[in-house]
Amino acid sequence: MVLGQRPVRGPSSWPPRGRAWAASQSGHSVRGEVRSERLPVNRLLAALSGVLATLAGVAAGHLAAALLDPATSPVLAVGSQVIDLTPTPVKEWAISQFGTRDKPILIGSVLVGVVLLAAVAGLLARRRFAYGAAVFVLLVAVPAVIAVTRPTAGVSAVAPSLVALVVGLAALAWLVRAAAPAAVGGRVGAPAEDRVEDRPGEAGGPSRRGLLVAMGVVAGAAAVLGGAGRWVASYRTRAVAIDLPAAAKPLPPLPEGLEERFAGITPLQVANSDFYRVDTRLDVPIVDVEEWTLTIDGDVEEEVTFTLDDILAMDLVEKDITLTCVSNSVGGEFVGGARWLGVPLNELLDRAGVGTRADQILSTDVDGMTISTPLALATDGRDALLAVGMNGEQLPREHGFPARMVIPGLYGFISATKWVTRMTLTTYDAETAYWTDRDWATEAPIKPSSRIDTPRALAPLDVGEVVVGGVAWAQQNGGVGTVQVRIDGGPWQDAELGPDVGNDYWRQWFYRWDAASGQHRIASRVVDGDGGPQSPARANPFPEGSSGIQELIVTVG
């Protein structure tokens, strides 16, 4: 992107050729043209030099981070900080606007900002190297400070930023020097012919070529360093295989889902690679399974610490649980059903012996990120788990490897801590967690909801039978009772349900609709087992989850 150097068009095209070039170099009678024609090229090259030097620095820093600790990469450090500092409404807007692309877009925005500053540094460096260097120091100070002040960082977290600074400055110095003769030649008012013939090595033409070559070298170095960084990072972040035991009492395989009968309905069990991902991280933490431990402390009789082997040696259970994000909008994608393998949370808490004062479990991930879970809800008999397996495999790194919490009926932001390392029994008065500090609700049961997977909104359909289908969930109040469909605001009609996997799991459904020609509105809702219909009241995800009825428009005929 940034490196796509579009040739500059018009009188200042590069490399300059013919009369205009000679005239611009003559420097006396056409001085006005000298300014207007040559300077833009010089400025452009200067700015570009700053950008290239920065890219080389960032690439070197990224490589250094990949070798030391990928989380300390200057780009990621700034991006993560932006995420943490972004006000909740803006974040909600970004998620609703960009969905799961919010992160690439964030990284892109950070890069655009960096590139602009880098261009300024390049321009300043031409005037006086120290000015340009100062901008570089500023550029690097931000990620350096952020990296060092992250909760789990040591002083060494500053290393990649320093590498970026040193390499960036070296590249900038080299490019400024490579450009120097051209700049000097431009300022001397001697006729171009003289200079070209007398001192060919220093004249504008050849030295600019030298500058271009140097720029090419720096760009190449940036690409090689950046590529190496990515390779090292992906090598280091490859999944480490653990020996995952089977459940003590394995569940029978899931029944065949409706997706086998009707195209477009979400699979009963979502594959790990398709499972939605929501977290505050730009990268995925690398957790060393040898080092990983889970500590239960706070208001307990005895603080306990488990290694991964301790956990795997316990009796593991399997549970089918549907996970949902509080940021999911009605009809949205942040929901998924999976089979989790793990240890009942109660067993772990019992080993520590929960005291009488605590009202929350404050769980902490490997990076110091925190989530608050209401203790009473987590321990009311529901199948709360510390999960180590997902759909028959070890947890994917994106979903919390090596261990995460999974609690049915509560939105993920208060229940599903990934990469969890600590559970502290404490009170809401004494301690607050990441999202609590951002004004999200503390008690947030998952609101029952139905989603239409097929047909898609605005889809063109043929007259005749159309299968309307999707998924619905109602973890509380007796699970999914029925799902109903409404066409064009008419009466609610019962849909047919897919296999029942339990109240903690979603339920697929379908409805055969005899579609007549024209435009139509299709809505669906879930009615829970106790007979309560899904609330039609529209609510945004913030602060305790969205509600309302999904309705879409299709054209038939």
Shortest distance (Å) from residue 157 CB to ligand MTE: 19
Which CB, 13 or 432, lies closer to ligand MTE? 432
Which position has the token pair 């208001």?
A: 299
Contact segment (CB under 6 A) with ligand MTE among 152-160, 272-280, 423-431, 507-515 equals: 272-280
Q: Compute how many residues bind Mo ion; rule: CB under 5 A.
A: 5
Which CB, 195 or 339, lies closer to ligand MTE? 339
365 binds, among Mo ion, ligand MTE, none (CB under 5 to 8 A by kind): ligand MTE
Which CB, 123 or 323, lies closer to ligand MTE? 323
Query: For Mo ion, which residue has the nearest CB?
Result: 325
Residue from 487, 495, 547 nearest 523 by CA: 487
Shortest distance (Å) from residue 134 CB to ligand MTE: 36
Residues 361-390 that bind ligand MTE (CB under 6 A): 365, 369
Q: Is 275 in the site for ligand MTE (CB under 6 A)?
A: yes
Q: How far apart are CA 439 and CA 417, in angstroms?
A: 18
E strand spans, 404-463: 404-406, 420-426, 449-454, 460-461
Q: Is 407 in the site for ligand MTE (CB under 6 A)?
A: no
Q: How far apart are CA 369 and CA 384, in angstroms?
A: 20
Q: How far apart are CA 266 and CA 268, in angstroms?
A: 6
How long, in residues, is the chain?
557
Q: Is 225 in the site for ligand MTE (CB under 6 A)?
A: no
Is residue 329 within 8 A of residue 277, CB to CB? The reply is no
How many helices and strands in the chain, by DSSP H and E?
A: 13, 19
The partner residues of 119 in beta bridges, in order of sequence, read none
Residues 392-431 that bind Mo ion (CB under 5 A): 412-413
E strand spans, 113-185: none
Shortest distance (Å) from residue 511 CB to ligand MTE: 28
Which CB, 272 or 454, lies closer to Mo ion? 272
The partner residues of 426 in beta bridges, in order of sequence, read 360
Q: Is 96 in the site for ligand MTE (CB under 6 A)?
A: no
Residue from 452, 385, 393 nearest 418 by CA: 385
3-state secondary structure 206-270: HHHHHHHHHHHHHHHHHHHHHHHHHHHHHHHCCCCCCCCCCCCCCCCCCCCCHHHCCCCCCCCCC
Shortest distance (Å) from residue 276 CB to Mo ion: 9
Q: How far apart are CA 372 and CA 357, in angstroms?
A: 15
Among 325, 407, 425, 487, which residue sits at the site for Mo ion (rule: CB under 5 A)?
325
Residue from 279, 273, 472, 251 nearest 340 by CA: 251
> Of all helices (H) and strands (E), which one includes residue 546?
none
Contact segment (CB under 6 A) with ligand MTE among 141-149, 155-163, 278-286, 532-540 equals: 278-286
Among 214, 222, 278, 472, which residue sits at the site for ligand MTE (rule: CB under 6 A)?
278
Which CB, 275 or 473, lies closer to ligand MTE? 275
Q: Is 60 in the site for Mo ion (CB under 5 A)?
A: no
Q: Compute how many residues bind ligand MTE; rule: CB under 6 A.
A: 17
323 binds, among Mo ion, ligand MTE, none (CB under 5 to 8 A by kind): ligand MTE
Alpha carbons within 13 angstroms on the beta-carbon side of residue 306 total: 23
Shortest distance (Å) from residue 417 CB to ligand MTE: 5
Q: Is 278 in the site for Mo ion (CB under 5 A)?
A: yes
417 binds, among ligand MTE, Mo ion, none (CB under 5 to 8 A by kind): ligand MTE
144: which 2 tokens?
């350096």
Alpha carbons within 13 angstroms on the beta-carbon side of residue 216 total: 6
Among 416, 474, 515, 556, which residue sits at the site for ligand MTE (rule: CB under 6 A)?
416
Q: Is 277 in the site for ligand MTE (CB under 6 A)?
A: yes
165 binds, among Mo ion, ligand MTE, none (CB under 5 to 8 A by kind): none
Residues near ligand MTE, by CB under 6 A: 275-280, 323, 325, 365, 369, 399, 412-413, 416-419
For binding to Mo ion (CB under 5 A), which residues are involved?
278, 325-326, 412-413
